[in-house]
């Protein structure tokens, strides 16, 4: 893959990186709380190899909104958070509004010639939680669903709301064993719930905090290559 073939576009809505001409697959990657679409952009070269088909990475920006957990300070967030536990009420309206944003992003890729079956929904932390939520409920089969250092949103509604279209879609979950932000137990609970519903989950645990490490990047690249083969 020649560097000259790469193209990066930046807009208010998203940062897009194409690793070659006329990509036929896309990865929609959602950032974490308070970050933006540039957060994972620098890692793109580590996810591809010269012989790989061209990919389009789409890194959207979450809306600005007050976040209760952070004292009501406005920042980029896919939904409001009161507390990171399984006892506090969740922002169902915000979650579903961001689900609509994700649906629009998938449909935009469809309009540009990329089939849903060639699209991966991915994300880190809050973005990973949204990828799991929207991906398991999406009405058309996706290529894969990836959640990094995240948790399950509105877990009690998953069994009733999940779409049969993505029952067999590969799911990649990864978490740090020393994560002080999203407790490892929350990531493991998401994994076990999905496994209990017969999803094909690939679970990875790393000795790291709330972050991404080189071995995880290697594992992500290998998984992307498999699901987009």
Measured between alpha carbons, how far is 229 from 225 in angstroms, rounded to an integer?
6
Measured between alpha carbons, how far is 73 from 81 in angstroms, rounded to an integer?
11
For residue 28, give the H/E element and its range: strand 26-30
| pLDDT for 139 beyond 90 | yes
When pLDDT is averaged across residues 56-85 and rounded to a whole number, the result is 94
When pLDDT is averaged across residues 78-104 and rounded to a whole number, the result is 92
Q: Which fold, 3-227?
A: Rossmann fold (3.40.50)
When pLDDT is averaged across residues 170-194 and rounded to a whole number, the result is 97
Q: What is the DSSP letter of 136?
A: H
For 103, residues 6+ apart whose C-beta sits below 8 A from its C-beta are: 134, 138
Per-residue pLDDT of 41-55, as tens digits, reads: 999 999 999 889 999
Measured between alpha carbons, how far is 222 from 42 in angstroms, rounded to an integer?
18
Measured between alpha carbons, how far is 216 from 221 in angstroms, rounded to an integer?
9
For 87, residues 6+ apart whose C-beta sits below 8 A from its C-beta are: none
Give the model's confidence band at 2: pLDDT under 50 very low, under 70 low, under 90 confident, else very high: very low
Measured between alpha carbons, how far is 97 from 130 in angstroms, rounded to an integer?
11
Mean pLDDT, all residues of the chain: 95
| pLDDT for 93 beyond 50 | yes
Q: Is 210 helix (H, G, I), strand (E, B) or coil?
A: coil
Place of tokens 């169902």: 92
* Domain limits, the chain: 3-227
| pLDDT for 11 beyond 90 | no
| pLDDT for 175 beyond 80 | yes
When pLDDT is averaged across residues 2-27 and rounded to a whole number, the result is 84
More confident residue, 27 or 86: 27
Q: Is 84 helix (H, G, I), strand (E, B) or coil?
A: coil
When pLDDT is averaged across residues 9-25 and rounded to a whole number, the result is 90
How many CA atoms lie less than 13 Å away from 81 in the CB half-sphere?
Answer: 24
When pLDDT is averaged across residues 52-75 and rounded to a whole number, the result is 95
| pLDDT for 4 beyond 50 | no
Q: Is the separation of the CB atoms in 61 and 93 below 8 Å?
A: no
Residues annotated as part of the active site: 125, 179, 210
């Amino acid at each position: 893959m020649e560097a000259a073939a790469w193209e990066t576009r930046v807009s208010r809505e998203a940062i897009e990186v194409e690793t070659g001409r006329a990509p036929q697959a896309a990865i929609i990657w959602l950032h974490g709380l308070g970050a933006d679409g540039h957060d994972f952009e620098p890692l793109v070269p580590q996810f591809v190899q010269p012989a790989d088909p061209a990919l389009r990475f789409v890194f959207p920006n979450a809306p600005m909104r007050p976040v209760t957990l952070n004292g009501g300070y406005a920042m980029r967030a896919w939904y409001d958070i009161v507390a990171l536990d399984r006892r506090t009420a969740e922002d169902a309206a915000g979650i579903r509004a961001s689900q609509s944003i994700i649906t629009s992003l998938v449909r935009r890729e469809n309009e540009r010639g990329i089939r849903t079956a060639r699209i991966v929904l991915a994300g880190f932390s809050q973005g990973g939680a949204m990828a799991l939520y929207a991906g398991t409920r999406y009405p058309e089969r996706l290529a894969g669903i990836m959640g990094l250092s995240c948790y399950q949103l509105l877990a009690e509604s998953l069994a009733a709301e999940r779409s049969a279209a993505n029952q067999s879609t590969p799911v990649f979950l990864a978490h740090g064993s020393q994560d002080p932000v999203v407790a490892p137990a929350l990531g493991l609970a998401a994994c076990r719930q999905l496994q209990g519903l017969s999803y094909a989950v690939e679970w990875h645990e790393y000795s790291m905090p709330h972050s991404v490490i080189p071995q995880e990047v290697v594992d992500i690249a290998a998984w992307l290559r498999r699901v987009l083969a």
